[in-house]
Structure 1
Amino acid sequence: MFGGLVWILVASSNVPLPLLQGWVMFVSVTAFIFSLIFLGVFLSGMVTQIDANWNFLDFAYHFTVFVFYFGAFLLEAATTSLHDLHCNRTMDLQPLLSDNQYNINVAATIFAFVTTACYGCSLGLALRRWRP
């Protein structure tokens, strides 16, 4: 749920730095879709039909998403910190992020941190289930 908010907030900020925020968008969209698929597999009962070590798969999935989301959080925070950076647009110096874009990016940074923390907690719980 929080990852979807990150996705919406970054998209609504008009992505002023595509190099940094492109990764944030990729991680939030991919994690959102795969989390829905992972949830669907568990809710549909396919877990009992597929012979796999689901505790390990759960741990590996949450570890991977945690690492990617932590990087996305750092990139979003870096983008937000560039608020006072001025760039030359049409012969006058303007801030890189407008005040509205800055506020949206602050919210996206906060929700990226919350999402990272949630995946970190899920990672810890998956580790407890996986290790005897």
Structure 2
Amino acid sequence: MFVSVTAFFCSLLFLVMFLSGMVTQIDVNWNFLDFVYHFTVFVFYFGAFVLEAAATSLHDLRCNATVAVRPLLDDNQYNINVAATIFAFVTTACYGCSLSLALRRWRP
């Protein structure tokens, strides 16, 4: 959740800067800044994807309860984690494509 909310606010900040025309007033290499942004978000989303996949793999892990041995994740939690893992992978792939395009813009 931290990764997606942070990426949303940074994207919103970039959008406001571009729409307000501040990019012409600030002397910065915007292609490089775009590359750094996409690289950072890609790394964070990749980490979130790996952690979510690791949490999903705990479905078959058993823990001791007071009455009986039960799975660590029930079926509902497992289904939610599978969906979150798939969406995290798709988002990581999209940011990877954006990263490659940003690299092409920065390094012609």
**TM-score w.r.t. length of structure 1:** 0.75
Comparing 82-91 with 65-74, greater Cα deviation is found at: 82-91
Cα shift at 1:35: 2.1
Q: Distance in 2 between matches of 1:104 and 1:44?
A: 40
Q: Distance in 2 between matches of 1:103 and 1:43?
A: 40
Q: Distance in 1 between matches of 2:17 and 2:31?
A: 14
Residues 12-57 of structure 1: CA deviation (Å, up to 9, x unaligned): xxxxxxxxxxxxx322222222222223322332222222110000
Alignment of 1:36-47 (within 5 A): 36-47=12-23
**CA RMSD between the two structures:** 1.4
Q: Are 1:85 and 2:65 matched, yes or no?
A: no
Tell me: higher relative CO, structure 1 or 2? Use CA pairs within 8 A at least 6 residues apart. Answer: 1
**TM-score w.r.t. length of structure 2:** 0.89
Q: Are 1:51 and 2:27 matched, yes or no?
A: yes
Q: Distance in 1 between matches of 2:80 and 2:70?
A: 18
CA distance 1:73–1:47, change in 2 (3 Å):
same
CA distance 1:39–1:93, change in 2 (3 Å):
farther
Identity among equivalent positions (%) equals: 84
Alignment of 1:109-128 (within 5 A): 109-128=85-104
CA distance 1:63–1:85, change in 2 (3 Å):
same
* Number of residue pairs aligned between Structure 1 and Structure 2: 108
Q: Distance in 2 between matches of 1:92 and 1:33?
A: 46
Instruction: Indicate the residue corresponding to 1:107 in structure 2.
Output: 83
Give the structure with higher Rg (CA): 2
Instruction: Indicate the residue corresponding to 1:10 in structure 2.
Output: none
Q: Distance in 2 between matches of 1:90 and 1:44?
A: 61
Question: Which structure 2 residue ranges, 5 or more long, are not aligned?
Answer: none
